[in-house]
A and B are shown apart, each in its own frame.
Chain A
Amino acid sequence: MCNGMTPSLSIFVFLLLAAGSAALILLVSHGVGRRPLTPGKDVPYECGMPPADRPSTQFPIRFYKMALLFVVFDVEIVFLYLWAVVVRDLGVFGLVEMFVFIAVLMAALVYVWRKGDLQWE
Chain B
Amino acid sequence: MTTTDILWGVLRIVLIFSAVMGLVAYMTLMERRFLGFFQLRLGPNRVGPGGLLQPIADGIKLLFKEDMTVSHANRFWFRLAPAIALVSVLACFAVVPASPSIVVADIPVAVLYLLALSSLGVYGILLAGWSSNNKYSLLGGLRAAAQLISYEIPLALSIVGVLILAGSMSLVGIVKAQEGLWFVVKQPLGFLLFLVCVSAETNRTPFDLLECENELVAGYQTEYSSMKFGLFYMAEYAHILLASCLVSLFFLGGWNGPLLPAPLWLLGKVFFVFALFIWVRATFPRVRYDQLMGFSWKVLLPLAFVNLMVTAALTVALS
Quick check: A10 and B13 within 8 Å, CB to CB? yes
| A111 in contact (CB, < 8 A) | no
Say which residue of A32, A63, A91 sits within 8 Å of B145 (CB atoms). A63
Say which residue of B69, B94, B167, B312 sits within 8 Å of A98 (CB atoms). B312
Q: A17-B13, A44-B132 are in contact. Are A35 and B223 (CB under 8 A)?
A: no
| Nearest Cβ on chain A to B19's Cβ, whole angstroms | 12
CB-based nearest B residue for A66: B146
Quick check: A34 and B315 within 8 Å, CB to CB? no
Say which residue of B167, B290, B302 sits within 8 Å of A121 (CB atoms). B290
| Nearest Cβ on chain A to B239's Cβ, whole angstroms | 13
Say which residue of B2, B86, B94 sits within 8 Å of A11 (CB atoms). B94
Say which residue of A41, A85, A99 sits within 8 Å of B66 (CB atoms). A41
Quick check: B5 and A4 within 8 Å, CB to CB? yes
Quick check: A21 and B104 within 8 Å, CB to CB? no
Size band of the A side of the interface? 35 or more
Quick check: A32 and B64 within 8 Å, CB to CB? yes
Quick check: A5 and B5 within 8 Å, CB to CB? yes
Chain B interfacial residues counted at CB < 8 A = 90
Q: Contacts of B64 on A, CB cut-off 8 Å?
A: 32-34
| B210 in contact (CB, < 8 A) | no
Q: A44-B223, A74-B152, A77-B157 are in contact. Are A18 and B90 (CB under 8 A)?
A: yes
Instruction: With a 10 A CB-CB cut-off, give which of B65, B105, B135 has the most chain A CB atoms.
Output: B105
> What string of 1s and 0s marks CB contacts (under 8 Å) between A1-27 and chain B?
111110110110111011101110110
Quick check: B305 and A106 within 8 Å, CB to CB? yes
Q: Contacts of B228 on A, CB cut-off 8 Å?
A: 26, 29
| B248 in contact (CB, < 8 A) | no
CB-based nearest B residue for A45: B222
Q: A22-B231, A45-B136 are in contact. Are A14 and B83 (CB under 8 A)?
A: no
| Nearest Cβ on chain B to A27's Cβ, whole angstroms | 9
CB-based nearest A residue for B163: A84
| B17 in contact (CB, < 8 A) | yes
Q: Contacts of A70 on B, CB cut-off 8 Å?
A: 149-150, 152-153
Q: Contacts of B319 on A, CB cut-off 8 Å?
A: 88, 91
Q: Contacts of B63 on A, CB cut-off 8 Å?
A: 25, 28-29, 32-33
| B55 in contact (CB, < 8 A) | no
Quick check: A77 and B153 within 8 Å, CB to CB? yes
Q: Which residues of A contact B (CB under 8 A)?
A: 1-5, 7-8, 10-11, 13-15, 17-19, 21-23, 25-26, 28-30, 32-35, 37, 41-47, 51, 54-56, 59, 62-63, 66-67, 69-70, 73-74, 77-78, 80-81, 84-88, 91-92, 94-95, 98-99, 102, 105-106, 109, 113, 118-121
What are the 6 A-B residue pairs with the smallest beta carbon separation, nearest first? A4-B5, A29-B227, A3-B9, A7-B105, A18-B90, A33-B67
Q: Which residues of B contact A (CB under 8 A)?
A: 1-2, 5-6, 8-10, 12-14, 16-17, 21, 62-72, 79, 82-83, 86-87, 90-91, 93-95, 101, 103-107, 111-112, 115, 119, 132-138, 142, 145-146, 149-150, 152-153, 156-157, 160, 163-164, 167-169, 217, 222-223, 226-228, 230-231, 289-290, 293-294, 297-298, 301-302, 305, 308-309, 312-313, 315-316, 319
A-B contact sample (18 more), CB < 8 A, given A22-B86, A42-B70: A2-B106, A4-B2, A5-B10, A14-B16, A17-B17, A22-B83, A29-B230, A33-B66, A33-B67, A43-B71, A51-B134, A54-B133, A67-B149, A80-B157, A81-B112, A85-B167, A95-B313, A120-B290
